[in-house]
Each structure stands twice: as C-alpha cells, then as structure tokens.
Amino acid sequence: MSVLIIILLGLCFLCLLRVALGPTLADRMVAIDIMGILVVGVCTLLAVKLEREFLIDISLAWVFLSFIGTIALAKYLEGKKFDE
Amino acid sequence: MREIIGIILIGIGVAFDVFGCIGLIRLPDVYNRLQAATKGVTVGTWGILIGVCVLVGFNSLGVKALLAVILIFFTSATASHALARGAHKSGTKLWKRSVCDRYEEDRKNAKIKN
C-alpha cells in the first residue's frame, strides 16, 4: 500500500514537470486538471492506510474544487466573461 | 479473499494512472495529451476507488468512495471537453503531422454558430 502511494506521488511530480515545461497555456491547464484527479486517489489510499475517516471527505471536496477550477480556466482560455 | 481482490483492483488502477501520466509526458500535442491522460487517469482513479470500496466493505468510507466514482464520471469528461474546446478556440496549433481538423473546417463553413 505504501509503495502505491509513493508511485502516485511520483506521478504528481510528473504532472508538475509538464506544468513547468509545457510550451502553451493549455498544456499547463491539462496537467493541473490531471493532477487534481490523481490527488483524489492519493487521499483515498491515505484514508485506508492511516485509518482516518475525514480524508475521504477531503477527496470528495477535491473533485468539485478541481472541476470548478478547470471550468473557470477553460472559460478564461476561451476568452469569454464568466457570467456569459 | 476480499482483501486480495481489493489490492488487485487498486494495483490495476495505479497501472492505468502510470500509463496516463506517461502519455501526458511523451505525446507531442495538447489534444493528444488531453486524450491519453484524461482517459487513463479517470479509469485509474475508478480502479483505486472501487478497490477501496471492496477492501473496506459497505461502511461510510466505502459508500463515499462509490459516490466519488459517480462524481468523477461526470466532472472529468465535462472538464476535458471544456478544455479541448477552449484550447481550440484560443488558437492552439495542432501537431504538424496531424491529418485533419474537422472542427476547424466546420467553423470555416459556418455550420457551427460559435
């Protein structure tokens, strides 16, 4: 179980690498979106391993926060106002 | 027996995550990266969450994991579609060896309004 968590954290660092060297703006947004979904898996595995119940609540909240952030960035990329 | 099935499902999920992130690093284009990474990481996280649900049974943690599966099913597909549309409308170029671009042709022929 610990090995799987360490592998997932390494994948998060791969996503940060793509954020650092992505050539366009859309690359960075894609990498942030993917890292949000990866962190949900990390929090769920930590909730099982550490036997703390509240970490699964954090992962449920993280799904919505990642979704709202990605939609807002996509609207900004498209060049519209937020209330349109 | 239940623990073995749960660990196997979690392992399959982590393997899908690894393939998705390799696609995110190595593919040449925004759209290719989005396609590979979104599908791989979404299915990988489903595997992790369903494996946790099998591992701990139907207490509050397992049911919340199943709820997160349903949420990811809707939000991941919607977010990736919005990102691809925004990237295309902001003028991000395709890879130089890409074959065709139907959305650009349709926008040029004004079959799609926006």
A69 lies in a domain? yes
Residue A41 C-alpha, separation from nearest chain B C-alpha, in angstroms: 6
Confidence band of A82 (pLDDT split at 50, 70, 90): low
Residue A11 C-alpha, separation from nearest chain B C-alpha, in angstroms: 6
Predicted local distance difference test score (pLDDT) of residue A40: 93
Residues of A in contact with B41 (CB under 8 A): 34, 37-38
Number of structural domains found in chain A: 1
A83 lies in a domain? no
Phi, psi of B96 (to 5 degrees): -70, -15
Q: Looking at the predicted structure, is the pLDDT value of residue A83 above 70?
A: no
CB contacts under 8 A, B 7-66 vs A, are: 7, 10-11, 13-14, 17-18, 20-21, 24-25, 30, 33-34, 37-38, 41-42, 44-45, 48-49, 52, 55-56, 60-61, 64-65
DSSP assignment, residue B114? -
Span A7-39, pLDDT tens digits: 999 999 999 999 998 788 889 999 999 999 999
A29, A70 Cβ separation under 8 angstroms: yes
Chain B residue nearest residue A80, CA to CA: B86
A33 lies in a domain? yes
Q: Looking at the predicted structure, is the pLDDT value of residue A57 above 70?
A: yes
C-beta contacts of B15-19 below 8 A and 24+ residues apart: B15/B44, B16/B40, B16/B41, B16/B43, B16/B44, B16/B47, B17/A7, B17/A8, B17/A11, B17/A38, B17/A41, B17/B41, B17/B44, B17/B45, B17/B48, B18/A7, B18/A11, B18/B44, B19/B44
List, in order, residues 6 or more apart from A3 with CB less than 8 Å away: none
The answer to whether A63 contacts B37, with C-beta atoms less than 8 Å apart, is no
pTM of the complete model: 0.89
Average pLDDT over residues A62-77: 91
Chain A residue nearest residue B74, CA to CA: A67
Tokens 């650092």 appear where?
Answer: A20
Joined together, the tokens standing for residue B13 give: 């999920």
The answer to whether B52 contacts A67, with C-beta atoms less than 8 Å apart, is no
Residue B86 C-alpha, separation from nearest chain A C-alpha, in angstroms: 4
Chain B residue nearest residue A57, CA to CA: B64
Predicted local distance difference test score (pLDDT) of residue A81: 62
Residues of chain B where predicted confidence (pLDDT) is lower than 70: 111-114
Q: Looking at the predicted structure, is the pLDDT value of residue A84 above 60?
A: no
Q: Looking at the predicted structure, is the pLDDT value of residue A52 above 80?
A: yes
Predicted local distance difference test score (pLDDT) of residue B47: 94
